[in-house]
Amino acid sequence: MSERRCPKCGTVYADTARFCPRDGTMLVEEQTKPAPAPAPTPSGGATAVRTPQTHKPGLDRASSLSGHVLDSRYHVERKLGEGGMSYVYLAREVATGHDVAIKVLSPRLATDRSSVERLRREAGLAMRLDHANVCRILRLGESEDGLIYLVMPFLKGELLSDREVRDGPMDLAVGVDILRQVCAGLHHAHELQIVHRDLKPENIMLVPEDGGRDRAVVMDFGLAKERRADPQIAKLTATGIILGTPEFMSPEQIRGKQLDARSDIYALGIVAFEMFTGKLPFQGRNAQEMMIARLRGHPSKLRMLRPDAPEGLEKVLARAMESSPDTRYDTALEFADALSPSGRGFLSKIKEKLK
């Protein structure tokens, strides 16, 4: 008999449920009587990980690594954040002295084969990415006491979500520039047949550069999926098992359909709308109602909430959020090009700011 648990609040539901009605988080399946499973066979170019079969004492320290040395390689300085799936730390590589960010898999999930396999897949995909607007994965490792972790460059910046909370709706010129950078990073991933699947403000880092301009970096390809998936990946993301954040899912993702680059374009359209207005384009009392609204309704008009936005920008975002993938932009570069005419005046203002 199996049950599903919310990794965020810990509530357990019957195996027919998919999302936690309290917070919209995807539920994680867990067996009431787990049976030992063989370790996955190393494949592709990703580093092999030994799948834990039992709880290891070392997993208990996943949430309290600050001040400790991980795997004799990384001196962990402080915790940067945590979520339902992992803990993120700032660390210093002992051999080089370089600062890195380390994502440690939550002990509640470290013994779950599907969660470990997803982390292996995240590393295998993200190690192929190499673009200024995408965060790379440097290494996937497992400590002797069972901690499974990802090593990434440490980016000194601010999450787009934090910027929105602090400053409210973003300046149009700055926002268009950020959107075009995100499009460039997504296009690089899409060219490698990788779809992000979970694009949201919490997954976009703004890194200050000389002159005051922010470099937008797409983070966390943890739910990324190759368009041409092998059977093992297909089993993990099978139709009906919806992965992603409910507020930003495309209609086809909600329905559990096959995804391509146009699903990320839809999510970026929602990100853009929220960035410029401080509100989501689809309303509902909870995540489920907002998902239904995206299946049956139409997004709010940008200029109703942001009167100073040009009509051209409103039309660009509306097309990105079209319900049917066939009526959206085909590629992220096409989306970026569409932003150029609407944002031409804005971009000139940005250049003036950089002088």
* C-alpha distances in Å from residue 134, one per residue of 185, 192, 303: 5, 13, 31
Average pLDDT over residues 227-244: 40
DSSP conformational letter for 59: G
Could you report the per-residue pLDDT of 293-347, keeping only the tens digit for each? 788 878 899 999 999 999 999 999 999 999 999 999 999 999 999 998 644 444 4
- For 102, which DSSP code? E
Which CATH class name applies to 60-154?
A: alpha beta
Quick check: is 210 catalytic?
Answer: no
Contact 286, 21 (CB under 8 A): yes
Topology of the domain covering 158-354: Transferase(Phosphotransferase); domain 1 (1.10.510)
Strand order in the sheet with 148-153: 69-70, 74-82, 86-93, 99-105, 148-153, 139-142
Residue with tokens 């098992």: 241
- Report the pLDDT averaged over residues 218-244: 49
Sheet of strand 214-218: strand arrangement: 158-159, 204-208, 214-218
Residue 169 makes CB contacts below 8 A (sequence gap 6+) with 275, 276, 277, 278, 306
- Report if pTM > 0.75: no
Helix axes 332-354, 311-320, angle to 10 degrees: 140
Please state the φ and ψ torsions of residue 153, each to the nearest 5 degrees. Answer: -60, 145
For the segment 2-11, what is each residue's pLDDT rounded down to a tens digit?
566 666 666 7
**Least confident piece of the model among 157-166, 209-218, 232-241, 277-286:** 232-241
Catalytic residue among 198, 214, 220, 264: 198
The predicted-structure confidence for 116-140, as pLDDT tens digits, reads as follows 777 777 678 778 899 999 998 888 8
**What residue segments make up the domains of the chain, in order of their start?**
1-32, 60-154, 158-354
How far the first Cα of the chain sits from its last, in Å, is 65
